[in-house]
Chains A and B, each alone.
Chain A
Amino acid sequence: MGYPHKSHPRETPILSKYFGDPEARTLEGWKARGGYKALPQALATDPVAIQNVVKESGLRGRGGAGFPTGLKWSFMKIGDGKPHYLCCNADESEPGTFKDREIMRWTPHALIEGCAVAAHAIGAETCYIYIRGEFTEPIAVMEAALDEARKAGVIGPNACGSGKTVNIWVHRGAGAYICGEETALMNSIEGRRGNPRIKPPFPAVAGLFGMPTTINNVETLTAVPHILNNGAEWYKAMSLSSPKSTGSKLFSVCGNVARPGNYEVPLGFPFKEFLYDLCGGPLPGRKFKAIIPGGSSVPVITIEEAEQVKMDYEGFMEFGTMMGSGGVIIFDDAQSMPKQLARLARFYAHESCAQCTQCREGTAWMTKILERIVAGQGTFEDLDTIFELTENMTGKTICVLSDSCGAPVTSGITRFRGEFESLITGKRSSTVAVG
């Protein structure tokens, strides 16, 4: 639901149904709302059978990459004699994305249940929930819920009386966007700098502490108990884009919009109605101009393009962008695109882990050029340099942070070139979208 606003009738609140309901935070309150039904059954079920249900449901990772969850789990060799680990990625640091925060704040047990089911499904006895350090409230809520769950025997050495061990611990981050990258996240848990690792080896082979590991996003894990309770068919049928994109998805909406918040809709929902109906359209007297639909790392599109989008993994790609983490950033006609894109580039420059040359140097250079253009000191050559620099920074590094810096910038220049040219020539800033 569109927390902090009232749920919109056209939403499909599965994961967000109890946002804003403090009683949903307790174990008792959560059980009263239908929680912890799936877990005891799951613990008595063969892990591979659970993997198959999730595969069948078509659930794809909600953190940004959209990898099929059941398939990811099936890479874990059950019974290989090694300790397996589950990491829940609650680092939620992608600008524009704030859905996991609300899941953890309001429905901590929903995540605990999802983690416990997934841990069992991949043969893991230990799960670490890696929460970004700034999320002090979600951390406190999760810790309290975990304490409660441990004391009640829901998790622990004999989870739900099943004889199985499911330990879940919170690991607090300390301020690093890149720790949302799964291998950087593992390094961070291991007490290292949050540097992404070279792949291969992939986490399912050698992950956390060198052992087979699965990393899943908060929203992904939270969806799992619902799928087990209601069946794969239910999950698929909910979507308007089945079978490629299934289920519901939380979209975080922010920026220049009347009702920012989290909205849960079935995949395949029309973006235009989403923006104007659910989110209430633009602020009074303004017009939507540009949208970054999947968190700041994806290409920016114009409102004209956005109005044609079907909200699913494929729908956004048709317009050269991505659904990503579902963080919808909206800029209206009062905003300077060069300024906002320069600010975004600075974000990446600040967050680069410093390993790869292209990223360490490129993100900073990009930022300096853009800031100079915004200050009215730019040249037309600078725009060419930015495109060539982006080419240099794309597809050449260990992780995609470097690519993510270039994507919104170059797509923004392509679509809003007039604004950049105005700054360069010193003529009045144009807010007319081109391309």
Chain B
Amino acid sequence: MSHGPSASGGAVAKPIPGHHHDEPYVPVFTAGSAPRAKLDDILSRYPTRQAGLLPALWIVQDERGWISESAMKEVGDVLGLTAAYVKGVVTFYTMYHQHPVGKYFIQVCTTSCCNCMGAEDVVKAFLEQTGCGELGLTSADGKYTVIEVECLGACGFATPIMVNDDFVDSVSVEKVPEILRKYA
């Protein structure tokens, strides 16, 4: 019996060689900082500090582009949680990057509704034209990372993609060059 991957390993960004450290770590939520003020405001909406975890992780990702283990520890310290607890949460939610990703993080929906409309060809086009070559890998110039993503909830607009926080509906193979020109 050979050893193999999980049944669904394709949809995660893989580490960029040599880029997965952020030492020395510079904290995000320093006293008086804008991220700290934002988090404090959000925390006032909830009866527990732990409820601020997902928002806090979003703030870190907005600031740093990814969530390092040092960042998990910092978030944990701010909210009274352990780094392991934070890690359990970070790794549960696929939108949090555990590694740095390309400047443009491209997610292409390939679940059935888009799949039957040619989503796999769209993925192929992005992989070829960005130079990423393989799902989850970042292009040599650090510009792009392409992953397959599970249903983006825009099934009537096959194929929807996300480039960072931007949603692009109804992407066909023909539209890929234009999109890449926009995100260059």
Direct contact of A and B (CB under 8 A): yes
What total of chain A residues lie within 8 Å of the partner, measured CB to CB?
A: 65
Please name the residue on chain A nearest to B6 by beta carbon: A364
When distances are taken between beta carbons in the complex, the residues of chain A under 8 Å from B6 are 349, 364
Interface string of B91-124 (1 = CB under 8 A from A): 0111110000000000100111101110000000
Cα distance, A409 to B9, chains bound together (Å): 21
The segment from B31-39, B134-142, B158-166, B174-182 that touches chain A is: B158-166
Selected contact of A167 from candidates B45, B81, B89, B158, CB within 8 Å: B45
Interface majority SS on A: helix, strand, loop or mixed? mixed
Q: Say whether, besides A98-B154, A260-B157, A364 and B7 are in contact (CB < 8 Å).
A: yes
A76 within 8 A of B: no
Asked if A194 contacts B93 (CB within 8 A), the reply is yes
A296 within 8 A of B: yes
Asked if A176 contacts B151 (CB within 8 A), the reply is no
Asked if A349 contacts B153 (CB within 8 A), the reply is no
Asked if B156 contacts A253 (CB within 8 A), the reply is yes
Cα distance, A97 to B156, chains bound together (Å): 8
What total of chain B residues lie within 8 Å of the partner, measured CB to CB?
A: 47
The segment from A7-15, A58-66, A131-139, A425-433 that touches chain B is: A131-139
Cα distance, A79 to B79, chains bound together (Å): 32
A329 within 8 A of B: yes
Cα distance, A209 to B46, chains bound together (Å): 9
Interface string of A176-199 (1 = CB under 8 A from B): 110000000000111111100000
Asked if A191 contacts B116 (CB within 8 A), the reply is no
B54 within 8 A of A: yes
Cα distance, A339 to B120, chains bound together (Å): 12
Shortest 7 CB-CB contacts between residues of A and residues of B: A191-B53, A174-B93, A175-B95, A364-B7, A254-B155, A175-B94, A350-B8
Interface residues of B (CB under 8 A from A): 6-8, 11, 45-48, 50-55, 57-58, 79, 81, 88-89, 92-96, 107, 110-113, 115-117, 149-158, 162, 165-167
Given pairs A173-B93, A339-B115, A349-B7, 15 additional interface contacts (CB within 8 A)? A4-B156, A95-B113, A96-B155, A98-B156, A133-B93, A136-B162, A136-B166, A136-B167, A171-B55, A191-B48, A209-B48, A255-B117, A260-B155, A331-B116, A363-B7
